[in-house]
Amino acid sequence: MKKIAIFAAVFTFILLLTKIANQMPSDPQPGSTFSLKAQHVVQCSADEITLLDIHQQATHLEKDLTWPDCSSFQKDKVVDFYLSRGDKTKFLSLEPTAWWRKEL
């Protein structure tokens, strides 16, 4: 009976440690996170993208594999890009820009 109780206690302890370890947050993505607000897609290829802001300043980025297909970007649509810098620029998300940001 004593051996069964010890075995059950050790098994429960291992399950508890496993549960705690699984709750740890994952490592953050490498590089710094940044956003580009109110951008038009001017040029897009498999490896590069050029964005134009409302002040007519172009931003040229080298893309990695996380970016969506170029056909998903509409040239006349103004969007906010959320990106991460690494060896190449990583795509995190995009959303339509706020109406007041288009007016600046």
Answer for the pair 48, 61: CB distance below 8 angstroms, yes or no: yes
DSSP 57: -
Span 30-39, average pLDDT: 85
Q: Residues 6 or more apart from 104 whose CB is under 8 A from it? A: 38, 54
Given a cut of 80, is residue 6 above it in pLDDT?
yes
Q: Kindly list the structural domains of the chain, giving each domain's residue range(s) and its CATH number in brackets, ordered by start.
A: 33-102 (2.40.50)
Taking only the tens place, the pLDDT of each residue in 37-85 is: 999 999 999 999 999 998 899 999 999 999 999 998 887 889 999 999 8
- What was the pLDDT predicted at 104? 58
Long-range contacts of 49-58 (CB under 8 A, 24+ apart): 51/81, 54/78, 54/101, 54/102, 54/104
Mean pLDDT confidence for 23-50: 84
Q: Mean pLDDT of all residues in the chain?
A: 87
